[in-house]
Structures are given as structure tokens and as C-alpha cells.
Amino acid sequence: MNKNEIPIVILSGGLGTRIADNKKKLPKALVSINSKPILYHIIKYFKCYGYSKFVICLGYKGKMIKNYFEQNKNNKFFKNLDIKLVDTGIRSNTGLRIKKIEKYINKFFFLTYCDGLTNLDLDKFLKFFFRKNKSNNIGLVAAVNTQSRFGILKINKTNQIQEFNEKQIIENLWINGGYYFFNKNVFKFIKEKNPIFEQTTLPLLAKQNRLLSYKHKGFWYCMDTLKDRMELNKLSKKNPPWKIC
């Protein structure tokens, strides 16, 4: 399959209110990690795997994201990339944003958000989908075995603490890592007026056994809070664990 024919859809309409500099009021996509917007890091990740076609769904402060690309149009990093900036509505939920870019999809597409960085092997991810895929399967979700944000206690029947494990990996607990691969039939499952994709379409696909999971045991980190941003900045100083090339 020609990688140039597979678009990368990036949901970039989020407010980033818990992360962004309050003075600048940046959209989440432009919140920086080591002086580069997280959107840049995500584009670079896919670019390193040979993908060049991007559809960026704009919402909150979409004009600022447009200005960013306009200001960097001569940057050699963006050379030979096909980037479409699509206004999908300030108040649109994720399902509606995805539905609004249907015309840009021919057969398959990747989907992700503007908050997660990973070293997920996209080549293996894609091969897994086509190796496991049956006619009824519509999508693949990267499942990650994340670290607890809190200390985990093991307590016995007399309420004595037997173990205290600070922020350990919770084994056998897999969460949605926010990296997907879909065929275009997914649009048929976005039915409501302004649905939340994760609360409507994904559960429906799962219920019908049309959604596969790929267990990723490598690096994954979600930038959800200011603390997360600080941690990613720290990780980026030497050899970022999400760096592919």
C-alpha cells in the first residue's frame, strides 16, 4: 500500500485549558514541547514512517494554527508534505469533526489527537491490522498499559497495608492510547448530530466485534495537564523516547 495515499487525520480543535499559557491562550495543538508545538512532534512522528498526507481538524483558535503553518511554509521540514487545514467547528465534538473530513478519505486513514506522544511502530501496527483483518473489522486501536498517576495500596482484611507501590504500571489494565487506523466504513457509524466519537462510535464498533486492539508496550505519554507538559519537556532534553528519526 502506498503510504502517500493514507492520510493522517489529527484532531486539533481542543482548548488545552489545563496546559496552555494563560497569557497566550494557545490551542492545545500549539502548546510547545522543547520549543516545538506538540502538533509538530506528531507530524514528525508520522513523517519519519514515510507518511506525507495530513488532514488537520481545526476548532478552538484554529486561526492560530493556520498562522503557524503560514509562518512556517518555507520551513524545509514541511516541504513535500500535503497538509489540509479543515475548519470543523469550535463547538464540534470529536465524532462531528471526523465526519466533516469524510470527503478527504478514499479507503483508509490514521486518526490521532494532539496530546499523545509515542514510539508505537506504525509499520507493525499496520501489518497487524491487515493480517488480523476480516471483512467485518473496521478499525484498530493502540492499547497502552499505562502507569498509575497515584500510589497503589495492597490492603489485607484487617486494613493493614501490605504493599505500597508508587505510580507503578498497572498490569493487565489496557487503555485507549489515542492512535487509530480505520477503513472508511467507520463514517457509517457516526450517526448522531454532534457525537463524542469515544462514547458513541467506538463502543458501537466494539459491541459488534468490529474493532481490533494492538497492545503497545513501548513508550506512550499523554499531555493532559501542565505537569504532563513539564514531564515531556524534561524527557525531550536528551534523547526523546518518542523520537523515531
Interatomic CA distance for residues 88 and 92, integer angstroms? 7
Which pLDDT does position 22 carry in this prediction? 43
**Pairing label, strands 36-37, 32-33:** antiparallel
Which letter does DSSP use for residue 96 in this model?
Answer: H
Interatomic CA distance for residues 139 and 213, integer angstroms? 9
Average pLDDT (44-54) is: 97
Which letter does DSSP use for residue 147 in this model?
Answer: B
Which residue shows C-alpha cell 466494539?
Answer: 206
Distance linking the first and last C-alpha atoms of the chain: 22
pLDDT band at 227 (very low <50, low <70, confident <90, very high): confident
Q: What are the tens digits of pLDDT across the range 194-212?
A: 999 999 999 999 999 999 9
The answer to whether the CB of 93 falls within 8 A of the CB of 113 is: no
Average pLDDT (153-171) is: 66
- Least Cα distance to 95 among 228, 209, 189, 227 occurs for 189
Which residue type does 52 have?
S
Interatomic CA distance for residues 241 and 245, integer angstroms? 11
pLDDT band at 26 (very low <50, low <70, confident <90, very high): confident
Interatomic CA distance for residues 27 and 243, integer angstroms? 23
Q: Is the pLDDT of residue 183 over 90?
A: yes
Interatomic CA distance for residues 3 and 208, integer angstroms? 29
Q: Provide the β-strand partners of residue 147.
A: 169
